[in-house]
Chains A and B, each alone.
Chain A
Amino acid sequence: MDRLPLEGVRIADFSWQIAGPTCTRYLGMMGAEVIRIESERRPDPYRERSISRFINQSKKSITLNLSHARGIELAQRVIGLSDVVIENFAPGVIERLGLGYPELRRVKPEIIMLSSAGLGHSGPDMKQVAYGTLIQCFTGWSALQGYPGHAPDIGGIWTDPVVGMLEVFLINAALHRCWQSGEGQYIDLSMAEATTMLLPEPMLDYSMNRRVPEPLGNQHPAYAPHGNYPCKGEDQWIGIAVATDAQWQSLCQVLGLTELPADPRYADALRRWQNQDSLDRALAAVTRRHDALALMVRLQQAGVPAGASSSVDQLWDNPQLRERGFFQTYREQDGVMQELPATPWRLDGEAGGNMTAQPVRGEHNTYVFEELLGLSQPEVEALVEAQVIY
């Protein structure tokens, strides 16, 4: 990309676990200089997991011991050279460290600070112990996941990566405002509320009708056929989502079910929906004979929304993603070239951005402490010795 959107922006990144690092990966990919502040004293447990090589890409890393007064002072100096601070310590921790927004504002009046926590930084439950997937229970999201008539399902990790994306939006909104008006910003974000914000349909249903929506599985509230149907092979499925009469006619034609459109049980959208169980059985009897990917292509070419339930290896080989340059190559720390997904957007047709390997902890100590802050090499060595740079 010719000019990356966040050229010249520096981020002081105190975040850890998943959501915050997900956010700062996008910021780094889009041209910001992200300086991750870590410590041997309090290592990010996710550093040890495979996800880290993904979410901690495209940033720099320094080590600072924040239990040390000198560490706090150096953190403030890094912040003084930054535009944005992001953190997700438990509520109250950053203030206790002396790095709360009022202090940072004295260091740099136009600083933008985003503080994220499971339930936010106010309210009676703000200090509850919160983990990603468990937060999903609180939000109304998990209560909607699952099969009709079965116990509900917490679901996979959802809140963290979604919140990470929302944080990218919010930080860019605050930067936009800052460049317009010179104003700084403090944003207190609740991960639970961010998840609920994406659920207006069930929330408005309750608001309007006092109805508590149940898990629908693969059904649609108004259309049928709508579901995953078995295909040839083990655990192979095709999703079919028919919303119009024309799609219904095409579906029957492709599957060779010439008698179905004339069946009075399926004559219109309402009757197809009312009789969806028998309809699903009729379709499944035929889809079983088909290869999922081949059937998907034939249905899409006939104008029927269809998609095979895909595994990660299929995703990697997906012709649409490949053609669009979704995967980007980068050099890992061991020198081996690897590839990972970049961004879900193209600006003027250009894919990607600045993708670099996850830094080793403290990899950029020399750059930050000597080049940016102007400390001498002996000063830095003394700080390492004193376990301040640690």
Chain B
Amino acid sequence: MPFNLFGGLKVLDLGQGISGPFCAKLFADLGAQVVKVEPPAGDSSRQDGPFPGDAPDPERSGLFLALNTNKLGVTLNLESASGRGLLVQLAQGADMLIESFPPAYLPSLGLDYAAFRAANSRLVVTSITPFGQTGPWANWQASNLILSNLAGHSREHPGPVDDLAKQPPLQLAARQAEFVAGLAGATASVLALNRRRLTGLGSHVDVSGMEALALLPQTTLAEFSLGKPPKGRHKDVAGRQSLLALLPCRDGFVGLSPRQQDQWERCVEMMGSPEWASDPKFATRESRLAHWDELEPRLAAWTGGQNKEDVYRLAQGHRIPSFPLNTAADLFESAQFRAREFFVEVGHPAAGPLRYPGWPIQLGSGQKLELTPAPLLGQDNAAVLGAKGLGLTQDQLVSLRTLNVI
């Protein structure tokens, strides 16, 4: 039995890129019927890699494939009146519509929230944009880098920096700002859905990617609200504060954190009680912090000849917090991820069988994640718009295709 938390829920996904489609995927994978509505040219993420063999192909974008599992796919040209009419008809039968266009775009087509509400008062309309629907920056443009900067992440949430002039503030890797916006969008959407049980009405859900990201550095926000000055960027603040070292190994790096006194004592024992470890400089947590510059190279010398997985197993065996710095390759081999069936193989007609990241949950009901492949462009036009869907005839479908509506 597949995940069925959203069985019976009908969702329209007008999202493009990452945030909207990721939001809709969270509903699709948990059992909602999600119809992805693409422009005839396709979702922009079809142009983004990775691609098999690095050969661009809109049906084989790894990003698109991963973000659009468990969805039906139709094409609709919203620039045409017929296309807009079909969208409104679909919205009449839906519970939720998710979109991520610039705030002025849908209203310019006559498709503002009031139009959707008039068609279906129970519809939840979720708009996910970098800055939200209102305010002086609503129509500004942003990307992961821009949001990493503006939300304070690149400056207030840094890792170690050796040279402030040569190492600029750092964006989040792997476009995480856009995934966080999508996650916040899904959370807000299900809250609006749950509010509908009280009001009988849908709502317009306005999600700001910048705000979603700005909420993450919670310690910084709390300290500033208490009147502490901003920390700014410094050399290796993160590691020093928590006695967390990222140490080189033969095959990569391992994180090791003997932060409590008993953990430190077991760490010394694990390393074979070397003479240097009895130096009073390393006797207490405070003194170890004060002499971190001397301590870290000694730990590195011990890990340097070993494999990261071996250090991790040995340290955890001594109840010392430690994890290897895993890469994608390591995770596909991880016994832990395998035991929980985290990666799921999906067969796709164009991209073939590939393993995708799955969900981080196991349900007591025994329901399992099942992933059907992302739709080919316009794959479900006939099913969704035709006799069994909106009721268009074969002739009408052909004519809409000729007119470039679908």
Binding site for B on A (CB under 8 A): 2-7, 18, 22, 26, 30, 49-55, 101, 113, 119-126, 128-131, 133-135, 137-147, 150-158, 161-162, 165-166, 168-170, 172-177, 179-180, 183, 185-194, 196-213, 215-218, 220-222, 226-230, 235, 237-239, 241, 243, 300, 303-316, 318-321, 323-324, 326, 338-341, 343-349
Contacts and interface: CB of A to CB of B under 8 A. Distances in A.
Contacts of A5: 191-192, 194-195, 198
B1 interface: no
A193 B140 CA distance: 34
B136, B138, B319 interface centre (most CB from chain A within 10 Å): B136
29 contacts: A5-B191, A22-B218, A51-B218, A53-B222, A120-B340, A145-B159, A146-B173, A153-B159, A165-B180, A169-B26, A190-B361, A198-B180, A200-B63, A200-B66, A200-B356, A204-B356, A208-B351, A213-B327, A228-B169, A237-B149, A237-B154, A310-B152, A311-B155, A315-B152, A318-B150, A320-B131, A324-B132, A347-B188, A347-B191
B208 A324 contact: yes
Contacts of B230: 311-313
Nearest to A314: B152
Contacts of B226: 50, 53
Nearest to A242: B143
B356 A161 contact: no
B16 interface: no
B323 A151 contact: no
Contacts, number: 478
A307 B238 CA distance: 25
B5 A137 contact: no
A158 B328 contact: no
A199 B63 CA distance: 10
With a 10 A CB-CB cut-off, give which of A30, A208, A238 has the most chain B CB atoms: A208
Interface string B171-199: 11111100110011111101111110111
B343 to A, nearest CB: 8
Q: Which of B154, B162, B351 has the most CB of A within 10 A?
A: B154
B203 A348 contact: yes
Interface residues of B, number: 151
B108 interface: no
Contacts of B153: 156
Given A101-B364, A161-B218, A239-B145, A137 B337 contact: no
A340 B221 contact: yes
Given A152-B325, A312-B217, A321-B210, 19 more contacts: A5-B192, A50-B219, A129-B319, A134-B244, A157-B216, A170-B361, A183-B365, A196-B360, A197-B360, A201-B66, A222-B49, A228-B145, A235-B232, A239-B171, A310-B151, A315-B151, A320-B132, A323-B134, A349-B204
Contacts of A207: 62, 332, 343, 354-356
